[in-house]
Amino acid sequence: MDIYALTDKILGEVFDDSFFRGMPEFGENDEPDVYAVYTLREKPSFHASDTNLAKTYWVEVSVFSALAEPTLYEQVEDAFSDRDFMYDGGTDAGNKNIYPYKTQYVMDFTLDVYKN
């Protein structure tokens, strides 16, 4: 399974081309009005007979927008849930010192994948 391709596909359905893996550096006036940034982590989650039989993937999605966008957050949650990700929660993590003109809402998702 290519977890990056799956995450890109999910976010592409919600944000078109306005999503990024890792925080980009925008040029002057290049920052989209609304966009998402994600990071991904993984770890083995089930072992038997010295074999890794499953992995857990964590995807953290930060949604940046001028104002809070509850409907957009729900669309992101639904898009990941439709692909069997578990929504672990979200929080307003906006830092007005770093992003003075944006809100930042962080959403966490997990997906357990078992090897055949």
Residue 13's pLDDT is 96
Domain that holds residue 31: 3-114
CATH number (domain holding residue 99): 3.30.2000.30
Residue 101's pLDDT is 78
Question: 93 near 106, Cβ under 8 Å?
Answer: yes
Transcribe 56-105 into DSSP letters: EEEEEEEEEESS--HHHHHHHHHHHHTTTPEEEEEEE---TTT-TT-EEE
CA distance 11 to 113: 19
Averaged pLDDT in 10-residue chunks for the chain of 116 residues? 93 95 89 94 79 88 92 97 96 74 91 84
Q: How many domains does the chain have?
A: 1
Look up the pTM and report it. 0.87
Q: How many CB atoms lie within 10 A of CB 40?
A: 15
Residue 111's pLDDT is 95
Nearest to 20 by CA among 61, 76, 72: 61
The 3-state DSSP class for residue 1 equals coil
Residue 87's pLDDT is 97
CA distance 94 to 100: 9
Residue 37's pLDDT is 96
Residue 116's pLDDT is 67
Q: Which helix (H) or strand (E) holds 48?
A: strand 35-48
Residue 49's pLDDT is 75
